[in-house]
Amino acid sequence: MKLASSTANREEKRRLGSDEPPAIGGAWKRVFDVFGALAALVVFSPLFLMLGMLVKLSDGGSVFYRHGRIGRNGRVFDCLKFRTMVPNGEEVLAAHFVRCPEARDEWLATRKLKDDPRVTRVGIVLRKLSLDELPQIYNILIGDMSIVGPRPVVKKELELYGKAASYYLKSRPGLTGLWQISGRNDVSYAQRVAYDMHYVENWSIVFDMKIILRTVPVVVAARGSY
């Protein structure tokens, strides 16, 4: 009976999953993502090894950081990054809010801190050059993310989208996107939401290629990254 019940549950999940609307771009975008991610793994594998060693040697902690983010159709997935923060980050952040109440307001408004006490010295460099996000290539390969799309958000951030959340949920979150090439952390959250809506409404392979090409100079200039 248990085996029959388990099989029925799997079939129900499969059936329900088949009814989900496809992500924007459909099969074309997915094929582009897979081939692009595989090529990136080959090209950046030496850099992966070097950065992993730097993170490990900096304080002996874990190399990678996993954080639950909201993906397409509201599914939660583990978003991968090179670890850029101290292991006891939550305690450090709580103590920082006690010392600097204005930092809490900044955090609640943007979910970011320009002067984040949790970030390690190696982490500062990785974030400045967006190298901490390279492990998300794995997320792209397994279908959690796309090369181009809205930046992955946590549940509390998605609440800031309001009615525009439906646009975010139509697409896979991206390693890069319109927000990243349009000012990143230097723009307001409302502008970020507007960029995501515009991207979803106007998606095309050509649009994706333009964003990818514009990402390179933005990353090199480290504009709006912290």
Mean pLDDT along residues 113-142: 92
Supply the pTM of this predicted model.
0.82
Most confident by average pLDDT, 17-26, 42-51, 89-98:
42-51
Instruction: Classify 5 in phi/psi space as left (phi over 0), alpha (psi -120 to 50) or beta.
Output: alpha
Q: Which residues pair with 153 in a beta bridge?
A: 70
Per-domain residue ranges of the chain: 24-84+119-219
Residue type, 166: S
Q: What is the per-residue pLDDT for 3?
A: 40
Q: What is the per-residue pLDDT for 226?
A: 59
Report residue 106's pLDDT band, with 50, 70 and 90 as the boundaries. confident
Q: What is the per-residue pLDDT for 225?
A: 64
| Contact between residue 189 and residue 109 where contact means Cβ atoms under 8 Å apart | yes
Between residues 225 and 157, the one the model is more confident about: 157
Report residue 170's pLDDT band, with 50, 70 and 90 as the boundaries. very high
Report residue 5's pLDDT band, with 50, 70 and 90 as the boundaries. very low
* Of the candidate ranges 27-41, 73-87, 160-174, 176-190, the one whose mean pLDDT is the lowest: 176-190
Q: What is the per-residue pLDDT for 16?
A: 36
| Contact between residue 148 and residue 98 where contact means Cβ atoms under 8 Å apart | no
* Euclidean distance between CA atoms 95 and 162, whole angstroms: 31
Report residue 19's pLDDT band, with 50, 70 and 90 as the boundaries. low
Most confident by average pLDDT, 3-7, 56-60, 204-208:
204-208
Between residues 203 and 1, the one the model is more confident about: 203
Instruction: Reply yes or no on whether the pLDDT at 10 is more than 80.
Output: no
* Euclidean distance between CA atoms 153 and 70, whole angstroms: 6
What 3-state class would DSSP assign to 146? Answer: strand
Q: How many Å from the N-terminal Cα to the C-terminal Cα in the chain?
A: 54
Identify which of 136, 135, 207, 197 has the alpha carbon closest to the alpha carbon of residue 171: 197
Residue linked to tokens 């200039």: 221
* Euclidean distance between CA atoms 111 and 206, whole angstroms: 31
* Euclidean distance between CA atoms 41 and 11, whole angstroms: 34
Q: What is the per-residue pLDDT for 98?
A: 86
Report residue 115's pLDDT band, with 50, 70 and 90 as the boundaries. confident
DSSP 170-181: TS--EEE-TTTT
Report residue 224's pLDDT band, with 50, 70 and 90 as the boundaries. low
Mean pLDDT along residues 6-31: 64
- Provide Rg for the chain, Cα atoms: 19
